[in-house]
Structure 1
Amino acid sequence: MERTGEAFEEGIQLTVVGAKLEVGQKAPNFTMETLPPGQGMPSEVSLQDTAGKVRLLNVINSIDTPVCQCETRRWEELLGDDVVVYTVSMDLPFALQRWLVEEKARHQALSGHKNEEFGRAYGVLLKEWRLLQRAVFVIDGEGVIRHAEYVADQMKEPDYQAAVAAVSQPLNTP
């Protein structure tokens, strides 16, 4: 499924691949690579690995862009250790690790560079760029989506307050 008119940058329309996910839906599981600081080779992480915890998926175009860096830093400031924060992009795990080390970030960065599985499943794959559309998902401990924001203008940041409010709701309540 391809969607048009839902993502753009500087007036250029982009095609998004995959269906939009809605609040109340079960979040699709995924497996991606991570490279924690100090680790030499990437390892795999899945959404199921953190079942029972609130997760925030910070989906970005690339960690090497100013807006994505600003957004990722902001989640570090806003959310504590009680929330699992994943920054998700198509960047190589090595680029993500470099940034995490430089920024002394606490959360994990996940790379979907090997395939488009995450992008298609979450409806965030930008066809023309083979990057991910900026988006934020809050997933409760049962794997249910409690907040979903797809940011149309790729030069804009998401609505932080709405996502933080969703994170603050008790587990497993609509």
Structure 2
Amino acid sequence: MIYIYNDYGGTHTTSLAAAYHLKQITQSERKLTTEEILNVKFFNKLTKNDFGKIIFHGIDENGDSVYTIGRKSSKLVVPALRDLSLLLESKHHFEEKIIFSNTSPTVPILMSIGGFFSRGLKIDFIGVPLLVMGAKQCCGNIFRLVENTKQIGKSPNEEQVIILANEVYK
């Protein structure tokens, strides 16, 4: 199975989701510390050159691969990847189940503003504290989103590619 967490930038909530999924940060709904947040691999480290790249984060306890992608505002990226996956399945007998899980509904306004200052304007002394505050606000929602994503992955489902919009986390 392949899990791909996706959102606008691919460097904040997706990185936290991948870290929760891989148990690189404590699996609970408690608030994360500033140090835990800033030590998450790829958190606030990706640039505009990384948009659209599928980034490998690791293998989970079940042997499943975990990736992230920043899709910008394009609503076409995930459906195109779904179609490509189905094409590979039909033409080349690719039989890996793929789950695309949207982390955008977990993003609080502080994280959006912090990301704009830090990644967009390169003003980290304003952006990073806002990102950390935003991450502390939404870490419980991200944890629940990851747990739900993993449950769906484990459930018997005949679909080879599953797209989770995760609107419930708004």
Task: Please give the TM-score of this superposition, normalised by the length of structure 2.
Answer: 0.31
Which is greater in Rg?
A: 2
Task: Please give the TM-score of this superposition, normalised by the length of structure 1.
Answer: 0.30
- Please state which structure has a larger fraction of its residues in helix: 2
